[in-house]
Amino acid sequence: MTTATKYDRRMYAIMNDRAAAPMYATATRRRAVIGAHVLLTAVGFAAWALTIFGDARWPLFAMLAVLPLWVVATGAINGATRGLLELRRRMLDERQLAERDRVHAVAHRITGLLLLLAAVGAGAAGWIGGVQVEGVVAPVLFAALTVHLLTPLWVAGLRIQDDPAED
């Protein structure tokens, strides 16, 4: 077994710091944080897409305004999962490794379904709706990549159980 590095120990301490625990102490609060994270991701993505694929520059400022809130929400989810997806394998026990594998499997199935729906939707938009599919390919692919990267975090946050109540 590989020994933990200074970086590993620091990340473990950050991910297991319970200072922000009231933010995600209950399943309802975790769902709210994940919902906010999904919403902030969608707003940030829309602002990015409007900046890149449109002529407007104001969405860039909206994206910059959303970013700090998104980072806090990401940190809250990582704190709730105690770094399940962020820590290296050597810092997790067998139960956590098994849970990480389950989270990735569920996220993979969700992402696969969303990719299928996006492909069918883009094809239908071009075939039935007369939409220039070439114009939507880049944003759809980037949205798919974004969802692919964040779905494990959302799934892990939704699967976490409440901490046992203290006596």
pLDDT digits (tens, 9 = 90+) for 20-78: 888 898 999 999 999 999 999 999 999 998 888 888 888 999 999 999 999 999 999 99
Instruction: Single out the residue of 121, 157, 139 nearest to residue 50, CA to CA.
Output: 139
The separation between the first and the last C-alpha atoms of the chain, rounded to the nearest angstrom, is 36
User: What residues contact 80, with CB distance under 8 A and at least 6 apart?
Assistant: 24, 30, 33, 157, 160
Dig out the tokens for 124 from the structure: 């239908």
Is the pTM above the cut of 0.75? yes
DSSP state of 56: -
CA distance 95 to 92: 8
